[in-house]
Amino acid sequence: MAKIQDDNLFYHCAKPFIDHHLHKSFSHYKVIGLENIPQDAACIFSANHTNTLMDALVLLSMTKEKKVFIARGDIFKKPFIAKLMFLCRILPIYRIRDGFKSVKDNNSEIIDKAVDVIHDNVKLFLYPEASHRTKHSLKQLSKGIFHIALKANEQFGHEKPVYIIPTGIEYGDYFRYRSTALINIGEPINVTEYVNQHKEENEAVIMNGLREMLSERMSKLISFIPDNEEDYNAIWEMTKLKNRFHLLEPLPERLKRNQETIKEILEWKEREPEKAKETFEKINKFTKERKKKKISIYSVTKKNIGGTVLWKTLVALLGIPAYVASAVGTLPIWLITMILKNSFKDKAWGNTVSFGVETVLHPLLMILCLVLSFCNLPWEQATLTSICYYVSYEFFVDATEFLRRWLSDVRWLFNKKLRAMSRGL
């Protein structure tokens, strides 16, 4: 019987194609910490889960190595989907919400398959939070990843060590297509060594110790605000305001700055709770008004808002012909994307929808463009037309974002009351 980690032609052909379109989905995509991945070891990657299917795609693309993922079991109900998931190297894991019978009947076999995956030196990826959530935080980690790690260690830990690799995914924006993505691989946990050091303890105690260690290390890889923090929104807005002149820094530096700022805010809140409460109330009021007026945090970053509006206005006027052309040429992509996104109650699926529609439609429209261009134009013009069309959707998305921020800058320029509020924060 074929194993999920075995080579298959579909995966071999599809992965470079998916990787290419994934990188087109972000204006900046970066992976750091690859040197932390142990060699000649069984590796299980544990990542935070914030952005639906995009979380798996950004991890899939971080290296060219073969990978197997574990996803929630309810999406495997239909036989066709289950077969497709197998070809994509995705195993199901069942949760109590899927029914106790599903957990009892299926998870033991899935754990055995997962152990076999890492035994064959294939990287295994899990999301132990068990569900996605667009927050800079972590939910309590489920025990599935530790069941796999301990069973693997029991079976072959004496041959090669078993590691859990904490992995952080940091997005510039959870909801905007072509934002930024940073993959941060942290210090690995040597499960084999940990078990050997705690032989006198039972499995439940060992699991709790591993969970505590993993949660702590994962929290250091993202802009982390404690999950039980009642002032989460105010703290995150305050972090952005304090770092508003550094939003265009390289992704690792931006993450480090956010982490330091969040730490300072939490320490300040503990020292001066009353003052913090008063400040958070002002920040929440400012945030509510800012969003109501549709003003981006990027507008708040501008030191010379008048000059910014002026040069952006000139660029917008000069770029109108190219923008209109790209909008018309890519109409099927952005129109279908907009319709599908509006059909989802959970807005976190927006980027996944954008990626999916672009990945399917853009190659088809590109083929149509090539045929029409080279059948009706001299080859020089046909070549130039094809190149322009190839980048037209990325240009359209980026230009639309430019125009959104330009309008935001204009609103910020003429909203003296809100600007005065920001200076007092």
pLDDT digits (tens, 9 = 90+) for 146-175: 999 999 999 999 999 999 999 999 999 999
Q: How confident is the model at residue 31 (pLDDT cuts 50, 70, 90)?
A: very high
Question: Are both 55 and 166 inside the same structural domain?
Answer: yes
pLDDT at 97: 60
250 and 286, same domain (yes or no): yes
Distance CA 92, CA 69 (A): 9
277 shares a domain with 239: yes
Residue 105 identity: D
Residue 124 lies in a domain: yes
End of a domain among 161, 191, 219?
A: 219
**Distance, CA of 358 to CA of 351 (rounded, Å):** 11
Would you say residue 388 lies in a domain?
A: yes
Q: Is residue 70 part of a domain?
A: yes
Distance CA 241, CA 266 (A): 15
Residue 300 maps to a domain:
no
Residue 3 within any structural domain of the chain = no
CB 401 within 8 A of CB 178: yes
Query: Are residues 388 and 269 both part of a single domain?
Result: no
pLDDT at 388 over 80: yes
Residue 11 has pLDDT above 90, yes or no: no
- The residue-averaged pLDDT of 110-124 equals 93
Distance between CA 172 and CA 258 in Å, rounded? 12
- Domain range for 239: 232-292
Could you tell me the two tokens for 418?
């809100």
For 264, the token pair is 């300072």
From 193, 219, 245, the end of a domain falls on 219
109 lies in some domain:
yes
Higher per-residue pLDDT: 126 or 2: 126
Q: 177 and 28 in one domain?
A: yes
CA distance 93 to 110: 7
**Average pLDDT for the chain:** 92
Q: Verify that 241 and 377 share a domain, yes or no.
A: no
| Residues 365, 246 share a domain | no
Residue 298 domain flag: no
pLDDT of residue 223: 97
Q: Are residues 127 and 180 in the same domain?
A: yes
**Residue 98, pLDDT above cutoff 60:** no
Domain co-membership, 160 together with 276:
no
Assigned domain for 1 exists:
no
Q: Which of 219, 251, 278 is the last residue of a domain?
A: 219
Flag the least confident range among 86-90, 106-110, 299-303, 313-317. Answer: 106-110
Report pLDDT for 88: 80
- Answer yes or no: do 25 and 132 share one domain: yes
Total domains present in the chain: 3
79, exposed or middle or buried, with CB in 10 Å at 0-12, 13-18, 19+? exposed
More confident residue, 104 or 263: 263
Could you tell me if 29 and 142 lie in one domain?
yes
Stretch 286-303: mean pLDDT: 91
Is residue 269 domain-shared with residue 315, that is, in the same domain? no
CATH of the domain at 93: 3.40.1130.10
pLDDT digits (tens, 9 = 90+) for 220-250: 999 999 988 889 999 999 999 888 777 778 9
Distance CA 425, CA 421 (A): 7
Percent residues over pLDDT 70 in the chain: 96
End-to-end CA distance of the chain: give it in Å, rounded: 63
Three-state secondary structure readout of the chain: CCCCCCCCHHHHHHHHHHHHHHHHCCCEEEEECHHHCCCCCEEEEEECCCCCHHHHHHHHCCCCCCEEEEEEHHHHCCHHHHHHHHHCCEEEECCHHHCHHHHHHHHHHHHHHHHHHHHCCCEEEECCCCCCCCCCCCCCCCCHHHHHHHHHHHHHCCCCCEEEEEEEEEECCCCCCCCEEEEEECCCEEHHHHHHHCCCCCHHHHHHHHHHHHHHHHHCCCCCCCCCCCCHHHHHHHHHHHCCCCCCCCHHHHHHHHHHHHHHHHHHHHHCHHHHHHHHHHHHHHHHHHHHCCCCHHHHCCCCHHHHHHHHHHHHHHHHHHHHHHHHHCHHHHHHHHHHHHCCCCHHHHHHHHHHHHHHHHHHHHHHHHHHHHHHCCHHHHHHHHHHHHCHHHHHHHHHHHHHHHHHHHHHHCCHHHHHHHHCC
